[in-house]
Amino acid sequence: MKTIHCLLVLLVFLSCKQEPKEKIPSSIPTETIAISHAKGFTITKSSEGITTIKITSPWPNAEAAFTYALVPKEKLAFVTLNRDEYDAVIATPIAKIVVTSTTHIPALEILGVENTLIGFPNTEYISSEKTRNLIAKNIVQELGNNEAINAEMVIALQPDAVIGFSIDNRNKAYSTIQNSNIPVVYNGDWTEETPLGKAEWIKFFAPFYHLEKKADSIFKAIETNYNQAKQMALKAKSRPTVLSGALYKDVWYLPGGKSWASNFISDANAAYLWRSTEETGSLSLSVESVLDTAKEADFWISPSQYTSYKQLEEGNRHYIQFNAFKERKIYSYASSKGASGGVLYYELAPNRPDLVLKDLIHIFHPELLPVYEPFFFKPLE
């Protein structure tokens, strides 16, 4: 009887114990999410529903990658992750977010989750009417500037995640935020070299909201539109030459041959005159060098902040020597601004490369899109 009594006590004790957490081993089967164009991140999903996002290019020449685990809230209490393998573990779907680049805003809006945005540095640069309304209602708080984001305000807001934008790993404010147990997740969309590569970063945002299928559908539509426009451009009977950029303190800055902007011109079936260079960022040239190469260029696009021929002529006397100036074939996105003066191109163009490409095709080959209304690029006044 004593033995039976002891067994009964043991059974009662065992039945009252809390269920142990399920440890997710590193060898668990995973599915790799298809990323077709972007080079800076990968996404895998385990059979347990744990999503792993790896950022391989948070900024140019980054020496280390960042890895984040996204765990559904209903599973968070029942799994144990080896946190040494991750830079942050985030419960999803998130309800409150802080983002730090205007290029993040369209991704939130197109996914329909802009109402989760609670803070942003330099809100005056946001052009979107939807998000500007949230700012006007004090739903989105001003957080200073990205280089020195107000860490105390971020901590007070208690977001579920901060999507960071940085040119290196020396942002002390981010470290302060992380030390307060608020995840900082780096987004490197700006390091992508191709138009569709930048746009595909909508898939980066989707797992935070369990909206992967929606993001995939949105991107496929953009990709299809872009590729159709690219094929249409090949029907053009001419391939005009193109100049870009302008002077800043006696240095002419223009896109490198492997850059995002250069790829747009090439896909629009035009000849960018510095396409053969290897730079993925910008080139720094003298005005004499640019005149020597592009004085006879058919078109000039993106002449810095200039929006009129009068401004250009007043800015530097050398500008009037270019044929594109004489023939009035200069186009800029600088005049397309939001309510607070932010340039719409900087915010939306990386997310909608199909619109940018159609603008350029309309400029370089107007016979292919005769009734098209440009979205970003307008002729100088």
pLDDT tens track for 42-74 = 999 998 889 999 999 999 888 889 999 999 999
> What are the tens digits of pLDDT across the range 3-42?
434 433 333 333 333 333 344 444 455 788 899 999 999 9
What is the pLDDT of the chain when averaged over all its residues?
A: 90
Residue 154 predicted with pLDDT over 50: yes
The reply to whether 234-379 shares the fold of 22-222 is: yes
- Is residue 46 a contact partner of residue 65, using CB atoms and an 8 Å limit? no
pLDDT per residue as tens digits for the range 245-285: 999 989 999 999 999 999 999 999 999 999 999 998 899 99
Classified by CATH at the fold level, domain 22-222 comes out as Rossmann fold (3.40.50)
Amino acid symbol at 268:
A
pLDDT, tens digit, for every residue of 179-207?
999 999 999 999 999 999 999 999 999 99
154 vs 143: CA distance, rounded Å: 7
Contact yes or no for 242/322 (Cβ under 8 A): no
Cβ-proximal residues to 134 (8 Å cutoff; 6+ apart), any chain:
114, 115, 117, 140
Q: What is the largest CA-CA distance in the chain?
A: 108
28 beta partners: none
Q: Cβ atoms within 10 A of the Cβ of 123, count?
A: 18
What does the domain layout of the chain look like in residue ranges?
A: 22-222, 234-379
> Residues 350-378: pLDDT tens digits?
999 999 999 999 999 999 999 999 999 99
Q: What does pTM read for this prediction?
A: 0.88
| CATH code assigned to 234-379 | 3.40.50.1980
